[in-house]
Chains A and B, each alone.
Chain A
Amino acid sequence: MLGALLFIYGLLGAVALHAHMRRGPAVHAEAAGTALAQLKPLALRMPLAMLLAGFLSHLVPPEMIVGSVGAEAGLRGILAAALVGMLMPGGPMVTFPVVIVLFRNDAGAAQMVALLTSWAVLAGHRVLAFEAPLLGWRFVALRLVPSLPLPVIAGLLAQAVLDARLG
């Protein structure tokens, strides 16, 4: 956790310095304004999402998770995880805590790759909130056709990498 903090704030310092040199001191206020606007909707959602993840991790029996998306579940687990990712009801502040909870209960890494890829490329909430209003449903459909198999491909590739590393 400390390593992650150092990494983030070290990088932030470097980016801020670079921005200062290229755009002058006014850039700090602009960046802070943009950041604040992005944080505002998170302020209430994050605590609620964490609470949801906390309750769910105690409600869902670990055996069920291992059976459905554990490392032993193979391709069936990858398909199940891709489906879960597609139906994930929110942004990163929901999805990443859910994946943490699944990992704590021995979900497989390849299955979690499939889940995150599915959530990233097919995410229903983002399509509804941004993509369809801005680009239209026709574009959504044209993009979804080639994107549908990607989560399963990513999961199988991850499985192959893991197998190669173990074997």
Chain B
Amino acid sequence: METGVSEGRSGEGGGPAAARRGRFDRGILVYALLALGAGIACLALKGPAETMVAMADSLGLLVSIVPLVIGGVLMAGYAQHLMNREKTSRWLGGASSLRGLTVATVAGALTPGGPFASFALVLVLHRAGVGLPLLVTYLTSWSVLGAARVIVWEIPLLGWDFTALRLLVSLPLPFAAGLVTAAMQRKFAGYRFAEAGER
């Protein structure tokens, strides 16, 4: 864990990939231990019959989710090869104020791919001169409105009604985060993002 994080800081290309590899191994181990612990607890507290029911439940959930996840991941794969990263950053680079916040929100909602792609884009945007409020707006939008996650996970698993409610109340959040960041920057001179070595 430590090596993954420190490597990620020193090297730009291999760092995050190394962190991802580290996360991969840790992740599997953590899930395996948690599942094993919960299974043992279930066996001890609820008995073998209910434990079998729990395992059957899990299998049912897995079987119903796998085709959806495969379809969704394939879609994300296409989207990633269609997206033009340079065009996106040029688009955001020239924007300001309310228009900038709107563009950042739309861009965040439409960015395909996993967290790696979005955080990498933030770095590119920062280097292209995009200010901290828009970076925060973009990441918040990607987090709460990200279309990829909504399509792959939320609609199939939680249904339209809930998804619509959550998206509706999430619409103002990227704007709020960006405006608060801008207000903080006006109040505190030190509220600035500079990469290591830039300061």
A positions within 8 Å CB-CB of B: 1, 4-5, 7-9, 11-12, 15-16, 18-19, 22-23, 27, 30-35, 38-39, 41-42, 44-59, 89-90, 92-94, 96-97, 99-100, 103, 109, 112-113, 116-117, 120-121, 123, 125-126, 128-136, 138-139, 142-143, 145-147, 150, 153-154, 157-158, 161-162
Closest Cβ of chain B to A121, distance in Å, is 5
- By the criterion CB–CB under 8 Å, are B62 and A47 in contact? yes
Q: Which of B89-136 contact A (CB under 8 A)?
A: 114-116, 119-120, 122-123, 132, 135-136
- By the criterion CB–CB under 8 Å, are A46 and B65 in contact? yes
1/0 contact trace for B165-189 toward A, CB 8 Å?
Answer: 1101110110011101100100000
Q: In the complex, what residues of A have CB within 8 A of residue B75's CB?
A: 8, 11-12, 15
- By the criterion CB–CB under 8 Å, are B70 and A48 in contact? no
Distance A55 CA – B114 CA, assembled complex (angstroms): 28
Q: Which among B31, B70, B154, B178 is the interface contact of A96 at CB below 8 angstroms?
A: B154
- By the criterion CB–CB under 8 Å, are A161 and B168 in contact? yes
Q: Which among B81, B120, B146, B177 is the interface contact of A31 at CB below 8 angstroms?
A: B81
Q: In the complex, what residues of B have CB within 8 A of residue A120's CB?
A: 143-144, 146, 149
- By the criterion CB–CB under 8 Å, are B77 and A31 in contact? yes
Pairs of residues from A and B, 7 with the lowest C-beta to C-beta distance, nearest first: A133-B8, A54-B58, A35-B77, A55-B38, A31-B77, A146-B180, A4-B156
Q: Which among A51, A89, A103, A121 is the interface contact of B30 at CB below 8 angstroms?
A: A89
- By the criterion CB–CB under 8 Å, are A8 and B123 in contact? no
Q: Which among A9, A113, A128 is the interface contact of B169 at CB below 8 angstroms?
A: A113
Which secondary structure characterizes the binding site on chain A? helix
Distance A31 CA – B19 CA, assembled complex (angstroms): 24
Q: Which of B149-172 contact A (CB under 8 A)?
A: 149, 151-158, 162, 165-166, 168-170, 172
Closest Cβ of chain B to A97, distance in Å, is 6
Given contacts A4-B155, A39-B70, A113-B169, contact A150 B81 (CB under 8 A): no
- By the criterion CB–CB under 8 Å, are A136 and B196 in contact? yes
Distance A59 CA – B54 CA, assembled complex (angstroms): 9
- By the criterion CB–CB under 8 Å, are B32 and A48 in contact? yes
Q: In the complex, what residues of A have CB within 8 A of residue B176's CB?
A: 146, 150, 153
- By the criterion CB–CB under 8 Å, are B151 and A51 in contact? no
- By the criterion CB–CB under 8 Å, are A128 and B71 in contact? no
1/0 contact trace for B52-72 toward A, CB 8 Å?
Answer: 011101110110111111111
Q: In the complex, what residues of A have CB within 8 A of residue B132's CB?
A: 142
- By the criterion CB–CB under 8 Å, are A129 and B23 in contact? yes
The chain B residue with its CB closest to the CB of A144 is B136
